[in-house]
Structure 1
Amino acid sequence: MSTPTFNEVSVSVSNLTYTHAPPGGRPLASAVPAVRDVSFSLKRGSILLLVGGNGAGKSTLLYLFAGKRMLQQGEVKIFGKDVFKDYPDNLVYLGTEWAMNAGVKRDIVVSDFLNSVGGHRHQKRRDHLLNILDVDLDWHMHAISDGERRRVQLVMGLMGEWDLLLLDEVTVDLDVLVRHELLLFLKDEASKRGATIVYATHIFDGLNDFPTHISHMRDGAFVLDPTPWPLDPSSLGVNSTKIPTLHSIALKWLSDDRALRIKDEKEGRRKKSRGARDALGIPIPTDGATFFKNYDYSH
């Protein structure tokens, strides 16, 4: 690839729609799309924060960007390449499922583990990350905490010179100091090397100076397309020149999302699926024989 410039488009998405296969062999058309008609682009050096509640489509979007799902409708290109057919070697995806894998909980010393995945080829960056993430090379993978195992994952994933980094909730296990140091490192990678980062998280403390763009997802679609940060207060309906914090913006967006969902449920546009089921008017048997018969799985 030619020498990159900060004007180069790193991520290009057009008319992307994706639906998970419904259970029971039902046709795909009967399911609600997890991602709906998403289109946007990012240039090198961008840091995009995906804001949205659980089930908003953030993880599915990152999976598609990482080439982990075959596209059904639309297009995703990473540095001009079709991400599924021509996976770019400068893309790194880090999600929460890695630390839960039984293979990384075996009795292997961290130094040996990192060397087995190429740590010796990236010694300078590896050592820098070991210091940032406060990792002990003598740790045994089976004997450390989830947070410490997460730090090892981050060293492993970040020690190469990646150009696009997809992060899905991987900072959730980190203590506040390590997370702060990691965010400084990532911001430096974006500003100096022109690396692009797309980050989905539910922890917004300490992020005000981190992203270059933010977005708001709801029900698989963008309510707010990726938009330069900080936002114009007038676009948020705030009568002030003071920019609200990311935490306060995310809290308002998620509160509005929940209120809209509840309104749709009450007015019959959406089936109620969350919260207490007695609100659905389903009778609960009062006699023991009938109640326990409902949970007799011996037949």
Structure 2
Amino acid sequence: MSDPEAKPEIHAQNLTYIHYGLDKNAEAALIDISFGLPKGSRTILVGANGAGKSTLLQIFAGKRLISQDGGTEVAIKGRDVFRQYPPGVTFLGTEWAMNPVVRGDIIVRDFLNSVGGYRHKPRRDQLLDILDVDLDWHMHAISDGERRRVQLVMGLMGEWDVLLLDEVTVDLDVLVRDDLLTFLRKDSEDRGATVLYATHIFDGLDAFPTHVAHMRLGKFVTLPAPWEAFKDVDTGNRSRLYSVALQWLKEDRDHRRGLENNGRKRRGAQLQDVPSESEKFYSKYDYSH
């Protein structure tokens, strides 16, 4: 049982973030986010593509710089993630597998040792078995799923206090994914470690979370809430988390379509009779007839 007086292990206050880039009129990706997660919790972030989940995780990982005006706070283990980044935090995201360095002709054994694998041999070996990784693989000659397994061995072989996961199980087969989640749950329970996990794959996850949260268009619709509160959900033949996520995502779609009916830019097919400039240009070079 967590101490209600204890400070949150993961904490955000008044967090707003905008991806400016080339678009000076960009909408905020995160809007006045405030929440806290207790030590030892395992929270599943649910939300449609573009809800702000990845941006939130990247900010906690210190990968996106934010303005700290207006009382904005972003902290892990009581430390500001930009001014005094805490030790023991691991972030695993999908962009790693696209890095040309990890697609080079390097043997997995050498790759893991180059990042300190020899210092964590017991946990490294346990993860090699769980993730079914061959130390003699060449990184440039393996599949995306196998490369993802190597990433997970690399990221998890050292003991972590806080784990930020952004869709990193998407390439794993169902058996390896289940074994990995069992390992992470036990690691969290045994050491009081904290997990914040954004995913779109909900089957087989009912036993994993302590909390769930729902994001929509840069805001929390449902702040992190104890998973036990959803025990009476009508699931039909589906898993409980799948059923909760499916209902939330349907509500997200209906909400967005309501905004589109009131002037927000519409997704999907463009309802217009006049050909766009792009259609006019490329149709001149269509030699398929």
Gaps of 5+ in 1: none
Aligned pair count reads: 276
**Contact 1:69-1:84 within 8 A present in 2 as well:** no
- 1:271 corresponds to which residue? 265
- 2:8 corresponds to which residue? 9
How far residue 9 of structure 1 moved from its aligned partner, in angstroms, is 2.7
User: 1 CA distance for matches of 2:184 and 2:111?
Assistant: 23
Do the aligned partners of residues 266 and 47 (structure 1) sit closer, same or farther apart at CA in structure 2, a change above 3 Å counting? same
Gaps of 5+ in 2: none
- 1:140 corresponds to which residue? 138
Secondary structure at the residue paired with 1:231?
helix
User: 1 CA distance for matches of 2:36 and 2:128?
Assistant: 33
Q: Deviations over 1:51-105 (max 9, x none)?
A: 0000000000000110111122411111111001111221000000001111101
- 1:49-198 aligned at under 5 Å gives the runs 49-73=44-68, 74-198=72-196
User: 2 CA distance for matches of 1:115 and 1:155?
Assistant: 11
User: 2 CA distance for matches of 1:11 and 1:110?
Assistant: 33
AA aligned to 2:281 is F
Secondary structure at the residue paired with 2:252?
helix
User: 2 CA distance for matches of 1:233 and 1:132?
Assistant: 30
Secondary structure at the residue paired with 2:27?
coil
User: 2 CA distance for matches of 1:247 and 1:55?
Assistant: 19
How far residue 267 of structure 1 moved from its aligned partner, in angstroms, is 2.4
- 2:280 corresponds to which residue? 291
- 2:34 corresponds to which residue? 39
Q: Deviations over 1:168-203 (max 9, x none)?
A: 000000000000000000001111101100000000
User: 1 CA distance for matches of 2:115 and 2:239?
Assistant: 42
AA aligned to 1:276 is A
AA aligned to 2:55 is T
User: 1 CA distance for matches of 2:284 and 2:273?
Assistant: 16
AA aligned to 1:62 is L
User: 2 CA distance for matches of 1:168 and 1:48?
Assistant: 12
AA aligned to 2:17 is Y
User: 2 CA distance for matches of 1:220 and 1:244?
Assistant: 27
Say what the alpha-carbon RMSD is for the aligned residues. 2.3
In the superposition, the TM-score normalised over structure 1's length comes to 0.87
Q: Deviations over 1:235-256 (max 9, x none)?
A: x7x6x9xx97111111111111
Do the aligned partners of residues 291 and 59 (structure 1) sit closer, same or farther apart at CA in structure 2, a change above 3 Å counting? same
How far residue 22 of structure 1 moved from its aligned partner, in angstroms, is 4.3
How far residue 8 of structure 1 moved from its aligned partner, in angstroms, is 5.5
- 2:226 corresponds to which residue? 228
AA aligned to 1:102 is P
Q: Tell which deviates more after alignment, 256-265 or 175-184.
A: 256-265
User: 2 CA distance for matches of 1:282 and 1:197?
Assistant: 50
Identity score, percent: 59
User: 2 CA distance for matches of 1:282 and 1:75?
Assistant: 49
How far residue 294 of structure 1 moved from its aligned partner, in angstroms, is 7.9
AA aligned to 2:18 is T
- 2:201 corresponds to which residue? 203
Which residue, out of 228, 240, 248, partners 2:243?
248
Secondary structure at the residue paired with 2:9?
strand
User: 1 CA distance for matches of 2:273 and 2:95?
Assistant: 36
- 1:262 corresponds to which residue? 257
**Contact 1:76-1:82 within 8 A present in 2 as well:** yes
How far residue 12 of structure 1 moved from its aligned partner, in angstroms, is 1.3
AA aligned to 2:99 is N
